[in-house]
Amino acid sequence: MDTKTIYLVRHGKIQLEDGQRRYIGQLDLLLSDEGLRQAHLLQKRLEPADIAAVYCSDLSRSRQTAEIIAAHRDVPVKARQDLREIALGEWEGSTFADIARRFPDKFRARGADIAYYRVPGGESFADCGKRVIAAFHDLLVSSPGNILIVGHAGVNRLLLCHVLGMPLANLFRIVQEYGCLNIIHCAGFGYQVRAVNS
């Protein structure tokens, strides 16, 4: 593998009707005004970076963020379905409180086995990790130069667990706020994480 730097970003804040915590996996939501501001701040912060390729999830919030960051670069934004956030099946869009009330046993079971519990009609984080890590390795091999990836909180946590050698059960120990930047250096000896949730 060539020596390269991966700039791994979480998309900006999304539009939500209320401030309640919800299961938002593959719902296709747009950036809020705050999210647009965060994307423009990332664009300024990454302006000096030498980026040869830009990839994002094909969900609107990720694509919008990537397009803002890449706006002044002669680099196309390539959207990939395999970089989507975890699919949350029947729980998509529901509040945490609603799922805890309606399905207390399933809510507790997922909390007890966050890596492998599969929501009905959805994915487990392990399932999601298989496709996301395969996509990540494909990008590393096929893209010369440094890479920007605009992902999601779950996607980024899975990739960081992978490069750090952390068990998936610990993925929520990694904070990924809206509009954050992670920097991963890749070389022949492996990975070195230089920034997390910056």
pLDDT digits over 46-58, tens only?
999 999 999 999 9
Tens digits of residue pLDDT in 69-99: 999 999 999 999 999 999 999 999 999 999 9
At position 105, the amino acid (one-letter code) is D
Q: How far apart are CA 176 and CA 182, in angstroms?
A: 9
Contacts of 101 (CB under 8 A, 6+ apart): none
Torsion 49-61-19-174 (CA) sign: negative
Neighbours of 81 (CB within 10 A): 11
pTM for the whole structure: 0.95
**CA–centroid distance for 175 within its chain:** 11
DSSP H helical segments within 50-124, as ranges? 60-69, 96-102, 104-112
Tens digits of residue pLDDT in 134-192: 999 999 999 989 999 999 999 999 999 999 999 999 999 999 999 999 999 998 779 99
Q: Which CATH superfamily is domain 4-195 in?
A: Phosphoglycerate mutase-like (3.40.50.1240)
Would you state the pLDDT for residue 1?
61
Tens digits of residue pLDDT in 21-33: 999 999 999 999 9
CA-closest candidate to residue 176, choices 97, 62, 77? 62
Instruction: Determine the 3-state secondary structure of 143 from DSSP.
Output: coil
- Asked whether the predicted pLDDT for residue 18 surpasses 90, the reply is no
| Residue 60, strand partner residues | none
Q: 158, exposed or middle or buried, with CB in 10 Å at 0-12, 13-18, 19+?
A: buried
Instruction: Judge whether 64 and 13 are in contact, CB under 8 Å.
Output: no
